[in-house]
């Protein structure tokens, strides 16, 4: 915690342009004084026709806290499982050489369109819905609410992330 002196408090108050200290603005002034940075402007005489040259000097508050390691290549499991649910059938058809049938299956599972281009919502259950569920699991389980990905990283589990 930075130590706040009367002088640093007064400089911060002047830098913020606050004339009277109240309960509402004392927190802002104290925060500015603790950061140690006041963006006060210093002036000096310039050589250009007797005018003043204004220069601003600012101090940047250093960010303290725990730093995390560098980002590494990881494979997110949940979205890949959701994607694989819809791609399993079309990939098998592509391997058999039936390209048109594979494209129709992709259309059916991700867009819900059959061969006559009629929309069928129950068709989305085999492709699009698992992909969305996998993305949501990746977002909420692997991210801030549960942070399983950070736990996996701390346990030194290599490439795999949720």
Q: With respect to residue 65, please indicate whether it lies within any of the assigned structural domains.
A: no
Distance CA 46, CA 52 (A): 5
Q: How, if at all, do strands 75-76 and 160-161 pair?
A: parallel
Give Cα separations from 119 to 40, 110, 112 (angstroms): 65, 11, 5
Asked if residue 83 and residue 11 are part of one domain, the reply reads: no
> Is 127 in contact with 109 (CB distance < 8 Å)?
yes
42 phi and psi angles, rounded to 5 deg? -110, 140
pLDDT tens for 125-138 read 999 999 999 999 99
Asked if residue 81 and residue 31 are part of one domain, the reply reads: no
Asked if residue 154 and residue 100 are part of one domain, the reply reads: yes
Q: Provide the mean pLDDT of the chain.
A: 82
Q: With respect to residue 91, please indicate whether it lies within any of the assigned structural domains.
A: yes
> Is 76 in contact with 137 (CB distance < 8 Å)?
no
Owning domain of residue 34: 1-44
Q: With respect to residue 70, please indicate whether it lies within any of the assigned structural domains.
A: no
Distance CA 93, CA 91 (A): 5
Asked if residue 85 and residue 33 are part of one domain, the reply reads: no
Q: How, if at all, do strands 52-56 and 41-45 pair?
A: antiparallel
Q: What is the mean pLDDT of residues 38-49?
A: 48
pLDDT tens for 27-39 read 888 888 888 754 4
Distance CA 141, CA 162 (A): 7
Based on the structure, what is the number of domains in the chain? 2
Asked if residue 83 and residue 27 are part of one domain, the reply reads: no
Q: Is 162 exposed, middle or buried, given 0-12, 13-18 or 19+ CB atoms closer than 10 A?
A: buried
Q: With respect to residue 87, please indicate whether it lies within any of the assigned structural domains.
A: yes
Considering the entire predicted model, what is its pTM? 0.56
Asked if residue 82 and residue 150 are part of one domain, the reply reads: yes
Asked if residue 95 and residue 28 are part of one domain, the reply reads: no
pLDDT tens for 67-111 read 666 677 888 999 999 999 999 999 999 999 999 999 999 999 999
Q: With respect to residue 68, please indicate whether it lies within any of the assigned structural domains.
A: no
Asked if residue 145 and residue 79 are part of one domain, the reply reads: yes
Asked if residue 126 and residue 82 are part of one domain, the reply reads: yes
100 phi and psi angles, rounded to 5 deg? -65, -40
């Amino acid at each position: 915690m930075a130590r706040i002196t009367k002088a640093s408090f007064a400089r911060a108050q002047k830098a913020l342009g606050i004339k009277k200290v109240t309960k509402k603005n004392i927190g802002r002034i104290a925060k500015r004084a603790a950061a140690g940075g006041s963006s006060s402007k210093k002036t000096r005489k310039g050589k250009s026709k007797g005018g003043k040259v204004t220069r601003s000097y600012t101090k940047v508050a250093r960010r303290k806290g725990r730093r995390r390691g560098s980002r590494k290549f990881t494979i997110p499991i949940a979205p890949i499982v959701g994607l694989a649910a819809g791609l399993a059938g079309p990939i098998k058809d592509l391997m058999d050489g039936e390209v048109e049938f594979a494209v129709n299956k992709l259309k059916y599972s991700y867009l819900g369109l059959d061969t006559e281009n009629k929309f069928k919502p129950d068709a989305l259950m085999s492709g699009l819905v698992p992909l969305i569920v996998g993305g949501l699991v990746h977002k909420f389980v692997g991210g801030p609410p549960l942070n399983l990905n950070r736990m996996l990283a701390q346990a030194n589990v290599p490439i795999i992330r949720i």
